Amino acid sequence: MKTVYIIITLALLVGLGIIFSNSTSTEQNVEIKNGVQYITIKAKGGYFPKISTAQAGIPTRLIVKTEDTFDCSASLVIKSLNYQKILPQNSETEIDAGIPKVGEKLQGLCSMGMYSFLINFS
């Protein structure tokens, strides 16, 4: 019985480690080149990263990468930009996000509302 408790405890610890390592991911998806900010979002089985922070006050472009994307994350809607498009299955799509202001948020959704991403500007 003691062995069962040890195995369950170890499994829980491993599971928690996986959850927290994914939720605190520090993937660098924001880059500034020649005065233009590029924010890269991957679309496949959802959008990744789910939450990003970017700089306000500079021209911003959103790059959405698809790779064998056949699910509803290929159908992207960004209401604040009046953007709705079916993305190609394997490509990079560049979207002009203008010059965001401090405190603005940019949210993207799949057409069904199942998947989303959020970009906070500060």
3-state DSSP call for residue 23?
helix
Domain positions in the chain are: 28-121
Starting at the edge strand found earlier in the chain, the sheet holding 83-86 runs 51-54, 116-121, 105-110, 75-78, 83-86
**Residue 50 pLDDT more than 90?**
yes
pLDDT at position 11 is 65
Helices (H), the chain: 2-23
Summarised one tens digit per residue, pLDDT across range 1-43 is 777 667 777 666 665 555 444 444 446 899 999 999 999 999 9
pLDDT at position 3 is 79
pLDDT at position 98 is 98
Summarised one tens digit per residue, pLDDT across range 59-117 is 999 999 999 999 999 999 999 999 999 999 999 999 999 999 999 999 999 999 999 99
Please tell me the pTM assigned to this model.
0.78
Q: What is the mean pLDDT of the chain?
A: 89
pLDDT at position 25 is 46
How far is the C-alpha of 80 from the C-alpha of 77, rounded, in Å?
A: 9
The CATH code for residues 28-121 is: 2.60.40.420
77, 109 contact by CB (below 8 A) = yes
